[in-house]
Chain A
Amino acid sequence: MSISEKPPLAQEPALVVDDVVKRFGRGTEIVTAVDHVSFSVQQGEFVSVIGPSGCGKSTLFNIIGGLLSEYEGAVKIGEERISAPHPAVGMVFQEESTFPWRTVIDNVAFPLELQGVAKSERMDRAHHFIDMVGLASFEKAFPSQLSGGMKQRVSIARTLVSQPKILLMDEPFAALDEQTRLLLGDKITQIQQELNQTTLLITHNLTEAVQLSDRIVVMTYRPGQVKRIVDINLPRPRTSDVVGSDAFGHYVAEIWNDLREEASRGMADSESAASRRAAHG
Chain B
Amino acid sequence: MAETFLRRRGPELFGAATLIASALVFEALIRGGVVNRYIIPPPSDILLAFERVIVEENILTRCRDTAFEMIIAGGASVLVGVPIGVLLYRSALWRRAMEDWIGALAAAPIVLAFPLFLVLFGRSPKTIIVMGFVHGLAPIILKTVEGLASTRTVLINVGRSLKMTQSQMFWKILLPSAMPIIFTGIRLSWTFVLITIVGIEYLINLGGVGQLINELAERYDLPGTYAGICFVILVSVLFFLALERVESWLQPGR
Contact = CB atoms under 8 A, between A and B. Distances in A.
A61 to B, nearest CB: 10
A102 B253 contact: yes
Contact of B179 (A96, A101, A110, A162): A101
A67 B252 contact: no
A87 interface: yes
Nearest to A141: B253
Interface in B150-172: 152, 154-155, 157-158, 160-164, 168, 172
Interface residues of B, number: 20
Interface string A77-94: 000000011010111010
Contacts of A84: 163
Given A114-B164, A114-B168, A97 B158 contact: yes
Nearest to B161: A91
A93 B252 contact: no
Contacts of B251: 101
B9 interface: no
B30 interface: no
Interface in A38-93: 65-67, 84-85, 87, 89-91, 93
B235 interface: no
Nearest to A65: B161
Contacts of B168: 114
Contact of A144 (B160, B163, B253): B253
Nearest to B250: A101
Given A97-B155, A99-B176, A101-B176, A67 B160 contact: yes
Contact of B253 (A85, A95, A97, A103): A103
A103 to B, nearest CB: 7
A96 B153 CA distance: 11
Nearest to B164: A114
Contact of B254 (A66, A95, A96, A100): A100
Contacts of A97: 152, 154-155, 157-158
Given A95-B152, A99-B155, A114-B168, A143 B162 contact: no
Contact of B252 (A65, A101, A110): A101
A103 B254 CA distance: 11
A223 interface: no
A85 B173 contact: no
B183 to A, nearest CB: 12
A111 B172 CA distance: 11
Contacts of A95: 152, 154
B161 A144 contact: no
B154 A93 contact: yes
Interface in A95-118: 95-97, 99-103, 110-111, 114
Interface of B: 152, 154-155, 157-158, 160-164, 168, 172-173, 176-177, 179, 251-254
Closest 7 CB pairs of A and B: A142-B253, A95-B154, A91-B161, A97-B154, A101-B176, A85-B161, A93-B154
13 contacts: A67-B161, A85-B161, A85-B163, A89-B161, A91-B161, A97-B154, A97-B157, A99-B177, A110-B162, A142-B253, A142-B254, A143-B253, A144-B253
